Amino acid sequence: MPAPGALKVADLEPVGPGTPTGRYLRLFWHPVIRAQDIPVGRAKPIEILGEKFTIYRGQSGKVYISAFRCAHRGTQLSLGWVEGESIRCRYHGWRFEGNGQCVEQPNEDRPFCDKVKIAAHPTREYAGLIFAYLGEGEPPLFRTYPDLDRAGVLVADPVEVLPCTFWNRFDNDHGHRAWVHRATAVRKNRPDILVIRHESVEECPYGFIGYRSVKGKGDNADSSMGIVEGSKVAADRHIEMARCIHWFMPNVRLWFQRSRAKGFEDRELWETKCVWIVPINDTTHAAFDVTLTPLEGEEARAYKRSRMQQEEEDETRWDLAEKILAGEMTLEDLPDDMSAYTSFTIEDYVTQVGQGPVSTRGPELLSVSEARVILLRRLWLREINALVDGKPLTDWKLPKDPFIAAAKEQWKVDALPA
């Protein structure tokens, strides 16, 4: 047991049951799979927070999460069959309901089903993702995000799985943008990406909010968008939409950006982006990325087609990323016709994976420009040290209204997308 208040960031990388981070994360709901990746009648094995589980979708469409193995002889349950709302083990046919209760033992002359129950966990489907509560006791209130509940095209991207700890993604501050994404900026003629920005942050009821500004111009001057529609209203919209990010404790980031979808990159089309960063185990994490784009009708259908093509392109991105890490090619060698979205992802991958675990890096030279990194580490250390010490935790409060609506009122900008 660590001494009171003694945990450091490197101590927060392990996420299995009983670890400080594992205990803390199991107090919250987390996405575990993309909804479209678990069709009716299918079962799959998944790993999350250092544990393996079975996930399946019953004939009603409801998704269930249960123990990884059958209680009988330890066979992997996902090898079996989904029958109605239950799953049957392929080894000896034992059948378990969605709540984990065994209800059939075909080979037994004197069944003892009532005495056999495997673990099962609550699930919810939201924003194109399947969420699960993997902690003990009654789950907390399920969180929804008003900016994702607006009208528009909602797309859940293929889940990004990176072979590095979730802290590598947490520590990805905004100062990296002009350097990590330089190759994309040059290839796509996006000089706005190369603008060096600073970020100030402040704690708030849901976590923290970050404010970006162009270096040397203060918080209220950000030319990051590069393209201005010729009116002050449009310029203000660019400034305010681009300059804020919101972090919901413990592991959710929300922000606004111009679309990077192929065919829509040159438009002033603002998207809501939300990413859940969830550890798979101590050395790997998943990023569940959801986008809400304010389009309807034929434009919405065209946008969906573009994103489907992008998903096909995404299938090769990790192979390219590994070649870059191995020195077989460079980021400047990526194809000219590759979407900005995909190349951004590859650039982030090679940077974060290349860092290695926090525990192996040695001393870090954090500076004022890493204000977001410093604050996030401080919040996590405060909460988990409190958990270990048996002290009260912060009751994080999510906003009830979309940030876009608040922006209209605060900045008196009518041109923000509804």
Compute CA 283 distance to the chain's CA centroid, rounded to the nearest angstrom. Answer: 16
pLDDT in tens, 181-204: 999 999 988 888 888 877 889 999
For the entire predicted model, the pTM comes to 0.87
Alpha helix stretches (DSSP H) within 255-339: 297-314, 317-325
Residues forming a β-bridge with 154? 292
Residues 6+ apart with CB under 8 A from 138: none
Q: How many H-runs (helices) and E-runs (strands) does the chain carry? A: 10, 19
* C-alpha neighbours within 13 Å on the C-beta side of residue 403: 21
DSSP E strand boundaries for 207-243: 207-214
- Determine how β-strand 207-214 pairs with β-strand 197-204: antiparallel
The distance between the two most distant Cα atoms of the chain, rounded to a whole number of Å, is 81
Per-state percent for the chain, helix, strand, coil, to nearest 5: 35, 25, 45
Cα–Cα distance for residue pair 282/133, rounded to 1 Å: 19
pLDDT in tens, 290-342: 999 989 899 888 888 888 877 766 667 889 999 999 999 999 999 998 888 78
Cα–Cα distance for residue pair 331/325, rounded to 1 Å: 10
Residues forming a β-bridge with 53? 46, 67
DSSP E strand boundaries for 337-393: none
3-state secondary structure of 199: strand
Q: Which of 273, 311, 47 is nearest to 157 (CA)?
A: 311
144 C-beta neighbours (distance < 10 Å), count: 12
248 C-beta neighbours (distance < 10 Å), count: 21
Cα–Cα distance for residue pair 271/307, rounded to 1 Å: 13
Give the pLDDT of residue 363: 79
Domains belonging to the chain, first-starting first, are: 29-133 (2.102.10.10), 146-411 (3.90.380)
Sign of the torsion angle spanned by Cα atoms 156, 157, 161, 165: negative
In this prediction, the residues of the chain whose per-residue pLDDT falls under 70 are 1-5, 215-242, 312-315, 404-418
Give the pLDDT of residue 340: 84
Sheet holding 120-121, edge to edge: 43-48, 51-57, 63-67, 120-121
Cα–Cα distance for residue pair 175/173, rounded to 1 Å: 6
